[in-house]
Structure formats: structure tokens, C-alpha cells
Amino acid sequence: AQSVTQLGSHVSVSEGALVLLRCNYSSSVPPYLFWYVQYPNQGLQLLLKYTTGATLVKGINGFEAEFKKSETSFHLTKPSAHMSDAAEYFCAVSVAGNQFYFGTGTSLTVIP
Amino acid sequence: DSGVTQTPKHLITATGQRVTLRCSPRSGDLSVYWYQQSLDQGLQFLIQYYNGEERAKGNILERFSAQQFPDLHSELNLSSLELGDSALYFCASSAFPGQGIYEQYFGPGTRLTVT
């Protein structure tokens, strides 16, 4: 069975500080991993994805994530937070594209 | 703009009623997924269709049903509505599962309020 755990439902960082959003997954097969962002009153937007190959994945808006198989993790990072990064972030795992399992989300607050 | 459209944007109805939510996937996408997002349950996968056929089922209640039509648009039917069905309902589409992993593109959602 596949599942995703996002540690910390709320994260607050100061503007300019490092953003770290944690995601751990459970998968019985090689996982395909995704991070999505949701701004208020909007749908989810893909930030980045890992399928195969390079384990460090770069996405939009300066975000990146590293797939660590030994730790079953796919944490999302950004070196310097911007006010516009305030949003809800979802980690997801997919099994052969047929079904996506989403984490419960992490709400990011950026403090000026 | 993801290219996925959903109508209506907002829907207010009474308990016991039936509603239909509509989704048009991105041009060329064969798969459609439906999700329910509520404050207490988070983002829950409901059901997936691929090229008109049901492909996967998640936490979808028996009072809910969906279908995908030959033109690939999809409808989610919710009946005997209860207060707890109030939520945001998202549709997402992707290209073709099984030939590489294609990310999902989400629509803007339909906000359903049951009174």
C-alpha cells in the first residue's frame, strides 16, 4: 500500500529564511513523487516531480526536492522564502499513474 | 491556467438534493480524477476514469457516482446530499497512465455548500 506523511501541518518561516517542508512516503513499488502547491481559492499546481534518474529535482519558483530512498523521504526546500510562497503544500505519491495518494498538506506562513 | 475547467464554481443546495458537477479535461488528456477536499478530511481521492472507463476507485460514497463521456468530459453526481458533503470538489486530468508517469493538472474546483 502507498501512503504519504507530511510532518507539520503548519510551518512558519521569516522572509528570506530557508523553507523546509517534510514528506515521507510508503510504497511497495518504486515511487513516483510530486509536490503540489495550492493558493487560496485555487486548484493545486504542480511544483515538481520525481520519476526516475537524478534524485535532486528542481521545480518552479526556486523550489527543489531530493528523493532519498534510504530515508523514504522527499522533502521540499527553498533557500530563501518569499511572501508569495505562503500557501498550502501537498506531497503525493503515484502508483503507475493510476492513483495518487496525497498527504494532508502543510500550510506555509511567511513572516515579513 | 491548467487547462482543466470545472462548472459550476459555486453550488448551494439543500440536504437530500442531487447535484451534478462537470469537468472538462485538458485537451488530449484521457484520464480524469475526482477529489474531495474538506477541512477535516483533507484531499481525498474519489474516482478515476480513463478514456470512458472506470480505472480506480477511492473513498467514494455509494451516494456518489461519476462517468466520463465520449468527448472525455466527466460528471460527478452527488445524491441524497448531507451537510457533511459540503466541500471543495476538484477534477484533475492527466495524459495516459502506464506510459510514463504523467502529473495531474487540477481544475479550479467547485465549492459545494449543503444547507
Distance, in Å, from the CA atom of B96 to the CA atom of B99, rounded to the nearest integer, reads 6
What pLDDT was estimated at residue B96?
67
Task: Tell me if A36 and B106 make a contact (CB, 8 A cut-off).
Answer: yes
B54: which 3 cell numbers? 472506470
Distance, in Å, from the CA atom of B62 to the CA atom of A20, rounded to the nearest integer, reads 39
| 20-49 of A, contacting B, C-beta below 8 A | 32, 34, 36, 42-46, 49
Contacts of B97 in chain A (CB under 8 A): 96-98
| Distance between B28 CA and the closest CA of chain A, angstroms | 16
Contacts of B96 (CB under 8 A, 6+ apart): A97, B30, B31, B50, B102
| Distance between A63 CA and the closest CA of chain B, angstroms | 17
As a whole number, the mean pLDDT across chain B is 91
| Distance between A48 CA and the closest CA of chain B, angstroms | 9
Task: Tell me if A44 and B58 make a contact (CB, 8 A cut-off).
Answer: no
| 8-67 of B, contacting A, C-beta below 8 A | 31, 33, 35, 42-43, 45, 48, 55-56, 58
What residue type is A1 in one-letter code?
A
What pLDDT was estimated at residue A98?
65
Model confidence pLDDT, tens digit, residues B8-35: 999 999 999 999 999 999 998 999 999 9
Q: Does pLDDT of B101 surpass 70?
A: no
What residue type is A23 in one-letter code?
C
Instruction: Read off the DSSP letter of residue B100.
Output: B
Could you tell me which chain B residue has the CA closest to the CA of A48?
Answer: B103
Strands B10-13 and B110-114: parallel
Region for A41 from its dihedrals, namely left if φ exceeds 0, alpha if ψ lies in -120 to 50, beta otherwise = left
Closest partner residue to B42 (CB to CB) among A43, A45, A104 is A104
Model confidence pLDDT, tens digit, residues A1-38: 778 999 999 999 999 999 999 999 988 777 889 999 99
Model confidence pLDDT, tens digit, residues A53-95: 888 999 999 999 999 999 999 999 999 999 999 999 999 988 7
Model confidence pLDDT, tens digit, residues A92-108: 988 765 678 889 999 99
